[in-house]
A and B are shown apart, each in its own frame.
Chain A
């Protein structure tokens, strides 16, 4: 009964979304204030319906309703409760429902928080969101219904992939999807602006917080995913340039560009056409990424190649959403007035450079990911494009981004000279060069360069803060007073940029990492990476739905006891699958990373890594998201815009 209610709620949500889409666009077109006033209610209604639907699916999962096909295929009675709930979005049908739910949450948030938006703009934004949502809910209802029943009911489920039974991965999809789907709001704003035919600073001010929130979530989502790969897959890798990863990187790159170019719209009323295109492009890449990855075209693990019909539906939907918005762009964008002129060397100029480079990187990722099937189709040649290509092609574009990132915020708007910047940041550059030089003695050129860039990024990012607080030049108390008066956004930008530097250092740390693979009997000791590793014990331990073989490794450094590590190997009988549970001991400067492999003749294969600076990769991502969140908290973003809204767009 509950699954039927869920199905009904899903259908109801779809209808409400359709109404929201139609009434929003038509009402704003007709300037019918009664119709326009109805859209927020519809958006909230759609959210409630989809929340009920998701709750129904979670109910079916927790109550082991094995008459629901989706539950049979992805759950099992013995599965821990947490994973029964999180497992609802760990499969195709459930993840589509989650998509719809997050989109509805975005719509409801605009409805609730957008009280100060001009009525027509809000109606159009909600209309675009509703229309998009309707399309995807229709996709769920017709081709991927999570509530489909089977008869007779199964006695037990088939269980989910054991690799998914992990807290990091359980919460990865909602965070990532919020990032992806959140970009629907800037997209809706862009389409609404094109419909209205005007964009001004206020528009930039409304769009930026939404773009920033999505960007923070996407950053966290990607970081969480890569961290999961690091500790769960068991060979110390964290980024593989797999199509699925690339799909999340593409909107992150253009989203980063969007977050920056929206500042220019807001402050200088410039780059308007470009920003609109970025907003459309980012959401288009989110959509194409999530959905085309599943069409079976890409050589990825996630292909559901078995069903090209689903692919056709998705493609038609994408054509409607992306094609429609780009057509509107082609028709309307030429009419948008361009804004202030700026010199090539200026804050705007730096942001344009950042945008060009980020979008070029994105182009490399897109083309590299799509090239094999296109090459096959058009030229009949089978080629592969993997990590070595992406590393080679992305690096020359990424280095100038890192180099320019620290300088950009130091440049004044409109017209700037480089000399004052040099005066402010020479010390950071000097330290960076010294670090790079020192590193180049014992290292290869690339890691040395990376460490130098990382120092440059971290120090240079705070150059503006140092400058504005007169740190080291004025008394500490006065610097502190100035620091408190500093706009939070300045601090946020500095932290986010420095976070990138931290990540770069973490990536470069790989060059210092060591690993050793040994065949060990109980009692054996090994030297690796400056540590002494001793295998103390091998034992059997039972888990809730798996059995496990656990090793105890005793780690000493220079004879001083350091830690005990417990890597294990888990066997899931239901899925006939084995996973490796990595043991990681970190002090934030390095990870000790131990994996227990197969056992043969009483000896176990152990993989022992010392991953230098590895935690910094994700720490840096955390700083980036934190910086973004701080910028959001800036009162200049929260206040101001509403009061001028009514002047800006007389509705």
Chain B
């Protein structure tokens, strides 16, 4: 893994992050980007496209693309030098009139599917995309199984006198 120095000439915020993490000084807190310098993306107003619609499109595309030298940040959110370059390329291509998918494909051709924050549906990500449906399916099955088990056990077992007294106590005044 490339550490400090390998990221960009103007030591971007991400580099600081690598440095600290590399030194084993990760704090024990449970919050995102704790060590990240505050990313201050699109820090330069000149970077933005003059046409607000094109700029919005570029931002939408950029937020789907991962900043390669950062941890789980899109190129829109990152202040890293590399992210800045990629942002500029996205904007150039948006102005040139390419489709969103073409811009993403252009990035994938260079950096692989790693660059996509939303992985495409393919064999290796089938399980990932199936998770919501699988969760519902398994949950439904468990509920059905639990109900069948309860019915098989004869439904609400006849309460003993002591249990009935307890039940009255439990449900209280209701």
Binding site for B on A (CB under 8 A): 73-74, 89-96, 98, 160-161, 163-164, 169, 172-173, 176, 201-202, 205, 221, 225, 228-229, 232-235, 237, 240-245, 247-248, 266-267, 270-271, 273-274, 289-290, 293-294, 299-307, 337-341, 352, 355-357, 359-361, 363-364, 367-368, 371, 375, 379, 381-389, 392-394, 396-397, 517-519, 576-580, 595, 597-598, 605, 607, 636, 640, 643-644, 647-648
Closest to B32 in A: A242
Is A163 in contact with B35, judged by CB distance below 8 angstroms? Answer: yes
Alpha-carbon separation in the docked complex, A360 to B142 (Å): 12
The answer to whether B32 touches A244 (Cβ under 8 A) is yes
Provide the bound-state CA to CA distance between A393 and B118, in Å. 10
CA of A393 to CA of B113 in the docked complex: distance in angstroms? 18
| Residue among B44, B132, B157 making CB contact with A360, cutoff 8 Å | B132
Q: Which residues does chain B contribute within 8 Å of A95, judged by CB atoms?
A: 27-29
Query: Which residues of the other chain, B, contact A385 by a CB distance below 8 angstroms?
Result: 117-119, 128
Per CB-CB distance, the 7 closest pairs between chain A and chain B, nearest first, are: A95-B28, A360-B135, A386-B117, A356-B139, A242-B32, A388-B118, A363-B135
* Between-chain CB contacts (< 8 Å), 19 pairs: A91-B28, A161-B20, A163-B35, A201-B166, A229-B32, A235-B77, A266-B170, A271-B146, A304-B24, A307-B24, A339-B150, A341-B155, A352-B143, A356-B140, A375-B124, A387-B74, A387-B117, A396-B132, A519-B44
Question: Considering the chains assembled together, what is the distance between the CA atoms of A29 and B156 in angstroms?
Answer: 30
The answer to the question of B36 belonging to the interface, with a C-beta cut-off of 8 Å to chain A, is yes
* B43 nearest CB across to chain A (Å): 5
Which of these, A94, A234, A248, contacts B28 with CB under 8 Å? A94
- Decide: A225 near B30, CB < 8 A? Known: A338-B150, A364-B132, A396-B132: yes
Give chain B residues whose Cβ lies under 8 Å from the Cβ of A160.
27
Asked, given contacts A173-B28, A355-B139, whether A161 binds B34 with beta carbons under 8 Å apart, the answer is: yes
Q: Please name all residues of chain A whose beta carbon is closer than 8 Å to the beta carbon of B53 when the two chains form the complex.
A: none
Given A233-B38, A245-B32, A360-B131; 15 other pairs, CB 8 A cutoff: A160-B27, A161-B20, A234-B40, A299-B71, A302-B27, A304-B24, A356-B136, A364-B135, A383-B119, A384-B115, A386-B66, A388-B63, A388-B118, A393-B132, A598-B43
| Other-chain residue from B38, B40, B166 in contact with A644 (beta carbon distance below 8 A) | B166
Residues of B close to A173: CB separation below 8 A: 28-30
Q: Which residues of B contact A607 (CB under 8 A)?
A: 40
State how many angstroms separate the Cβ of B25 from the closest Cβ of chain A: 6
With most chain B CB atoms within 10 A of its CB, the pick from A225, A242, A274, A352 is A242
Q: Point out the residues of chain B lying under 8 angstroms from A243, CB to CB.
A: 72
Smallest beta-carbon distance B17→chain A, Å:
6
CB distance from A276 to the nearest CB of B (A): 12
Specify the main secondary structure of chain A where it touches its partner: helix
- CB-CB contacts below 8 Å: B1-43 with A: 16-17, 20-22, 24-43
Assembled-state Cα–Cα distance A9/B17 (Å): 35
Do A244 and B31 touch (CB < 8 A)? yes
Q: Is A363 a contact of B131 with CB atoms below 8 Å?
A: yes
* Interface residues in chain B, defined as those with a beta carbon under 8 Å from any beta carbon in chain A: 16-17, 20-22, 24-46, 48, 63-64, 66, 71-74, 77, 112-119, 124-125, 127-129, 131-132, 134-136, 139-140, 142-143, 146-147, 149-151, 153, 155-157, 162, 166-167, 169-172
Known contacts A94-B28, A96-B28, A233-B33; A383/B40 CB under 8 A: no
In-complex Cβ contact of B150 among A229, A270, A303 (8 A): A270
Residues on A with C-beta less than 8 A from B117 are 384-389
Out of A232, A341, A382, name the residue touching B113 (CB < 8 Å). A382
- Of the candidates A237, A302, A394, A640, which one forms a contact with B172 in the assembled complex, judged by CB atoms under 8 Å apart? A640
Q: Are A341 and B146 in contact (CB under 8 A)?
A: no
Could you say which residues of chain A place their CB within 8 Å of the CB of B42? 517
**Would B28 and A92 count as touching, CB distance under 8 A?**
yes
List chain B residues, Cβ under 8 A from A225.
Answer: 30-32
Q: Would you call B170 and A229 a contact (CB within 8 A)?
A: no
A163 contacts which of B26, B34, B134, B151 (Cβ < 8 Å)?
Answer: B34
A residues in contact with B28, CB < 8 Å: 89-96, 98, 173, 294
Residues of chain A with a CB closer than 8 A to B113's CB: 381-384
- A-chain residues with CB within 8 Å of residue B155 when the two chains form the complex: 340-341
The residue on A at minimum CB distance from B66 is A384
Asked if B146 contacts A301 (CB within 8 A), the reply is no
- Chain B residues with Cβ below 8 Å from A579 are 37-38
* Nearest CB in chain B: distance from A173 CB, A: 5
A521 to chain B, nearest CB (A): 13
The answer to whether residues A644 and B169 also contact, given A242-B72, A273-B146 and a CB cut-off of 8 A, is yes
A580 (CB) vs chain B CBs: closest residue: B38
Are A240 and B33 closer than 8 Å at their CB atoms? yes
B72: which of A233, A300, A338 is its contact (CB, 8 Å)? A300
Asked if B149 and A359 sit within 8 Å, CB to CB, the answer is no
Contact A301 B21 (CB under 8 A): yes
Assess the B132–A341 pair: CB atoms within 8 A. Answer: no
| Chain B residue nearest to A639 in the complex (CB) | B172
Is the Cβ of B31 less than 8 Å from the Cβ of A245? yes
What is the minimal beta-carbon distance from B20 to any residue of chain A, in angstroms? Answer: 7
Contact of B40 with A597 in the complex, beta carbons under 8 Å? yes
Given the known A-B contacts A379-B124, A386-B74, A396-B132, are A301 and B150 also in contact in the complex, defined by CB atoms under 8 Å?
A: no
A644 to B170, Cβ gap below 8 A?
A: yes
B150 contacts A290, C-beta separation under 8 Å: no
| Cα–Cα distance between A221 and B30 once the two chains are bound (Å) | 10
Chain A residues positioned under 8 Å from B37 (CB to CB): 163, 577-579
Give Cα distance in the complex from A237 to B59, angstroms: 14
- Closest chain B residue, CB of each to CB of A579: B38
Q: CA separation between A567 and B16, bound complex, in Å?
A: 23
A593 CA to B21 CA, complexed, in Å = 30
Tell me whether B31 and A384 are in contact (CB under 8 A): no
Given B43, B64, B170, which contacts A605 in the complex, CB threshold below 8 Å? Answer: B43
Instruction: Output the residue of A164, A294, A352, A388 with the most chain B CB within 10 A.
Output: A388
Whether A337 pairs with B157 at a CB distance below 8 angstroms is yes
Q: Note all chain A residues with C-beta closer than 8 A to B131.
A: 360, 363-364, 367-368, 393
State which of B40, B44, B46, B143 has its C-beta within 8 Å of the C-beta of A580. Answer: B40
Q: Kindly list chain B residues whose C-beta atoms are within 8 Å of the C-beta of A640.
A: 169-170, 172
Which one of A228, A367, A375 lies within 8 Å of B31 (CB-CB)? A228
B residues in contact with A304, CB < 8 Å: 21, 24, 26
A274 touches B118 (CB 8 A): no
| Chain B residue contacts of A379, Cβ below 8 A | 124
Which B residue's beta carbon lies closest to that of A366?
A: B131
What residue in chain B is nearest A603 (Cβ atoms)?
B45
Task: Kindly state the separation between the CA atoms of A73 and B23 in the bound complex, as whole angstroms.
Answer: 10
Query: What is the CA–CA distance of A388 and B64 in the complex, to the nearest angstrom?
Result: 6
